[in-house]
Amino acid sequence: MHRSRWGIALGLFYATIWGVLSGCAKTEGPKKGEVLLWHWLTDREDTLQQLADAYQKKTGLKIHLELYAPSDAYASKVRAAAQTNTLPDIFSVLGETRDLASFINSGHIANLTEAMQADGGAWKKQFFPKALATNTMLPGNQYQVPPGSYGVPIDVTNIQMVYNKVLFKQAGLDPERPPQTWEAFMADWHKLKAAGIPGFVSGWGETWMIDCFANNYAFNILGEAKVLDTFRGKVSYTDPDWIRVLGLFDTLRQEGILVPGVVTMINKTAEQTFANGKAAFTFNGSWCVNVYKGMNPDLSFAAMLPPHVSSRYPMKIWGGAGSSLMVNAASPNKDDAIRFLRWLTEATQQTQLAKDTLNLPANRFSAGDLPPALRSFASRMEMTTHPSQWPVTESPMVVEAMDKGIQSILIGEKTPGQVAAEVQAVKDQQTK
């Protein structure tokens, strides 16, 4: 999935201090006869190097890896390289769909459709369809990008609720039967509360996570068509269904289920809180399996769908490609880069990546042999959605008003009705 809005906002800052952040890191352009790959994946560095070495032994082609972290600094470095035409053979655009489109329209990213469809579409068929969709431009897209596939997913991700099985058992709940409805969720919370167990934590100081949670319930309560019509300006945010979505956050506040400070908490702090057994529920992505292993190897947990409010529409969860790699369209080693990425995403290599790093594999034929906690995420990949896959998206100003408005609801400053009216006012200004 693409990087959050906050990361993009920080990009210019990181660009100005790149020399300090990168230290003495070696930077080179593409060389004929070897493939240069820039990445930011600190947790996957060792495994990627092992795979690069294995590929060189198999084919004789050297894959030269260069790590640049954190991700914000990496994104700034890639943007700077695009401006000077010094991009490596393989890289990634960490941003929103508009950022990817800008790189494509500037001639920096190769269209991989022909390679994906070669041999009867053998390469394309290996992937979860939702993984490919994240980097696919459809005909008639709003960015005027030629339709096609522009990225190779190396893993996938989705965001669900997660629950602590041990705390469930302590409260007399069945650890193999998490709540499926909002009513059951509240009933389980009351039992947890009676047992002195804290309720729900998430990094809602990062507003993209609030946006994600709210969209889950918007799709469940309004249905996809009505949500997209809202973005188009055909439905008002003061519609009772939208107020019902906002009311769920007010219910969380009134019920006292939220861990103190959740509104200003970054996700890393929320992850530590959950890993330490200080909350029964959290809202987090599949990457948490690897994170929790480092924080608390004995943590017993599983993913669960956010409990549905309405039975009329399905619950949709955010998901798609987690990390994707793009091929430099101007690279003298473009064909070699494509062949390496095809090999990297074959089932054997994907299984090694998944087992070593506990990230969901993008290759759907590798998803069976996974740890139980990771399987609970993988089993719901077909239920995913993401703004990059929607035919229309909301204005960033409206999204910001919604997310900050929800934070106001969570601290009791505003009512759902007040926030709905304020969001619609911003929407009206954007459509004048």
DSSP-derived secondary structure for 247-283: HHHHHHHHHT-BPTTGGG--HHHHHHHHHTT--SEEE
In a domain, 407, yes or no: yes
Is pLDDT at 356 greater than 60 in this prediction?
Answer: yes
Pairwise CA distance, residues 80 & 86, whole Å? 8
Is pLDDT at 48 greater than 90 in this prediction?
Answer: yes
Is pLDDT at 81 greater than 90 in this prediction?
Answer: yes
137 plus 176 within the same structural domain = no
76 plus 165 within the same structural domain = no
- 3-class SS at 303? strand
353 plus 408 within the same structural domain = no
133 plus 213 within the same structural domain = no
Residue span of the structural domain in which 231 resides: 158-318+392-430
289 plus 254 within the same structural domain = yes
Extended beta strands in 195-339, E state: 200-201, 281-285, 301-304, 317-327
Q: What is the pLDDT of residues 181-192, one digit of tens each?
A: 999 999 999 999
Q: What is the pTM of this model?
A: 0.79
pLDDT reported for residue 30: 67
Pairwise CA distance, residues 273 & 398, whole Å? 31
333 plus 299 within the same structural domain = no
End-to-end CA distance of the chain: 31
Question: 369 or 230: which carries more pLDDT confidence?
Answer: 230
Is pLDDT at 322 greater than 90 in this prediction?
Answer: no
**Containing H/E element for 130?**
helix 129-133
Is pLDDT at 388 greater than 80 in this prediction?
Answer: no
189 plus 265 within the same structural domain = yes
Give the lowest-confidence range in 21-35, 358-372, 408-422: 21-35
Strand partners, 304: 161
Is pLDDT at 390 greater than 80 in this prediction?
Answer: yes
What mean pLDDT value characterizes the chain?
91
pLDDT reported for residue 220: 98
Contact indicator for 350, 363 with CB cutoff of 8 Å: yes
Is pLDDT at 389 greater than 90 in this prediction?
Answer: no
Tell me the CATH number at 188: 3.40.190.10
Q: Tell me, rounded to whole angstroms, the distance of Cα 339 from its chain centroid.
A: 26
Is pLDDT at 160 greater than 50 in this prediction?
Answer: yes
Nearest CA among 17, 136, 112 for reference residue 73: 17
In a domain, 378, yes or no: no
100 plus 220 within the same structural domain = no
Contact indicator for 319, 303 with CB cutoff of 8 Å: no
Give the mean pLDDT of 84-97: 94
Pairwise CA distance, residues 101 & 135, whole Å? 10
pLDDT reported for residue 212: 95
215 plus 335 within the same structural domain = no
151 plus 17 within the same structural domain = yes
Q: How many domains does the chain have?
A: 2
* Residue 192 vs residues 17, 257, 263, 305: alpha-carbon distances, Å: 47, 10, 22, 19
pLDDT reported for residue 46: 96
Is pLDDT at 15 greater than 70 in this prediction?
Answer: no
- 3-class SS at 323? strand
Confidence band of 24 (pLDDT split at 50, 70, 90): very low
In a domain, 376, yes or no: no
Give the mean pLDDT of 395-424: 97
Is pLDDT at 129 greater than 90 in this prediction?
Answer: no
